Amino acid sequence: MPGTNAPPETMRRFFLRGATRTYQFRRQQLIALRNAIKKYERHIESALYADLKKNPEEVYATETGLVVAELNVALKNLRRWMRPRRVPTNLVNFPSSSKIIPEPLGVVLIISPWNFPFQLALIPMIGAIAGGNCVLLKPSELSPATSDLLERMVQDIFPSDYVQVMQGDGAEIIPSLMKSFRFDHVFFTGGTEVGKKIYSMAARDLIPVTLELGGKSPAIVEADANLEVAARRIALGKFVNAGQTCVAPDYVLADMRIMNSFLERLRVTILQFFEGDAKNSYSYGKIINESRFDHLVRLLGDGKIILGGGYDRAALFIEPTVVTDLTPSSLLMQEEIFGPILPVIGFSSRDEALDLIQRNDRPLSFYVFTSNGATEKYWIDSVSFGGGCVNNACWQFANHHLPFGGVGNSGLGAYHGKFTFDTFVHRKAVMKTATWFDPPLKYPPFRGKLRWFKKLIR
C-alpha cells in the first residue's frame, strides 16, 4: 500500500525481491499512473497555473497530453520491448544461438526541472517503470505547487519502497543522496553547469547518467522561406511558457534580403497571439521567480528593442520581446536566454551565419526555414545539434519515434518512446552453445592452427 517515504536501501530490497520484473506488474503500474492523471486532472491544471500561469489548453498540449501519449505508447508496446531479441551468431561460435535480454537496472534517480515540471518528471519515470526499475523522483523546488502535486499523486498510487518523491533544496539533497547510496542510473534535466556537477558525482561510483541540458538553439530563416509560416512557428516555439523552454529558438538568423519583411510578420504574429496585451492574455505565462525575472530584465538592456520590452516584477511578467542590432559579443548572444526575449540577427552569407552558430557549443535544437532541398541539406549537414526541424520549431519533442537528447554540452543520452525504455535497461548479452559439436581445433595445443583461425575469425 502507498505510504510515507522509504530510504533508498528499502527500495533496493524491494527491487531485489523481483516484483518489478514481470510484464503484469509493470503494466499495472503504468495503468495506475494513467488513471491517476485523469483523477488529478484539475489539480494538475491548478498547480501549473500557480507555478507558471499555464492555461488548461497549454497544460494539456505541453504537459499532461504528452505524458498520456507516452503512457499509451508504453502500454501498447511493453510486451514487445521486454521480449528478448534474437541476434545472429558468427561462424567461430558455431553451433550457438544468441539473444539480447533487456534487464532492469535497479533503483534510479530522476531529477526534474521547473519549466515543464509535470511532463519532464513523468516521461522519464514512465520509461523507468516500463523498464522494471524502482524510482526516486526529485522534482524542482522552484515549482512547488507541481512538486507537491506529484508527491501526492505518487503516494496515492505507488508503495514508497517502489516509487517515491523526495522534495527539498536540490543543492543540498542530491549530493547527500548520491554520496550515501549508489543509484543504478541518474537521469537529470536542467542546466549545463548543474549537469556537470551531477556527472562528476556519478563518476565517483561509475553510475551511468542521462543529461538533458540546453544551449543556444538557432533558427535560420532563408530568403526562400515561407515568412508567414516561419514567423508563426518561431513565435509559438519561442513564447510558449514565456520562453522558458529548452528547445525554444534562442535566436534567429535571417537572410538580410528578407530581414525587414520577417520582422514585420513576426511583430504582427506576436500581437495576434496575445491579443495586443500579453500581460492580461489568457495564452501567456509568467516567469518562474524573481531571481530569473531580474536576470532577464538585465538582458533587456542589450541591443535595440523593436517589440515589447515592458515588464512588471510584481506579476513576474516580461512582454514577448524582439531585439535587433546585436553583435556576437552581446550578452544575449553569450548564454541561453530561457525567457521571452528573441534576438534577430541578419546575415549576408551562409558562412557568416555558420560562424555565429559555431561561436557557441553544439545546441540542443536547430531549426531551418527554407523551401529549397539543397539549402535544407546544407544546414542539416553543417551544424551539429541534438535534434531539430525543417520549417517547424520545437515539435520534434512531441514525436516519440525520434530520440530526444543533446550532443556535447547540450546533453548526453536520449529518451522518448522506446528510447526511454532503452535508457533504463541493461541489454544483457547471452550466447548458448550446443554440446553435440566440439572440434579440437578450438583448444590447445595451438601450433599449426593459425591458418584456420584466420579463416574462421574475420
Which residues are the active-site residues? 212, 246
DSSP conformation class of 348: S
What do you get for the CA distance between the two ends of the chain, in Å?
56
> Which burial class, exposed, middle or buried, applies to 428 when counting CB atoms under 10 A from its CB (0-12, 13-18, 19+)?
exposed
Task: Confirm if 270 and 322 have CB atoms less than 8 A apart.
Answer: yes
| Of 271, 247, 259, 456, nearest in space to 366 by CA | 247
SS3 at position 52: helix
What residues pair up with 307 in beta bridges, in sequence order?
322
> Using CA atoms, how far apart are residues 113 and 120, in angstroms rounded to an integer?
7
DSSP conformation class of 254: E
Phi, psi of 346 (to 5 degrees): -85, 150
> Using CA atoms, how far apart are residues 52 and 214, in angstroms rounded to an integer?
20
Handedness of CA 384, 390, 395, 399 (dihedral sign): negative
Task: Confirm if 335 and 364 have CB atoms less than 8 A apart.
Answer: no
> Using CA atoms, how far apart are residues 364 and 373, in angstroms rounded to an integer?
23
CB under 8 A, 24+ apart: contacts of 373-381: 375/222, 375/224, 378/350, 379/220
| Of 11, 329, 348, 260, nearest in space to 159 by CA | 11
CA distances from 258 to 116, 219, 327, 343, 390 (A): 34, 14, 19, 16, 18
What residues pair up with 321 in beta bridges, in sequence order?
341
C-alpha cell of residue 241: 511558457
> Using CA atoms, how far apart are residues 415 and 309, in angstroms rounded to an integer?
36
Handedness of CA 265, 266, 270, 271 (dihedral sign): negative
Residues in the chain, total: 458
> Using CA atoms, how far apart are residues 336 and 112, in angstroms rounded to an integer?
19
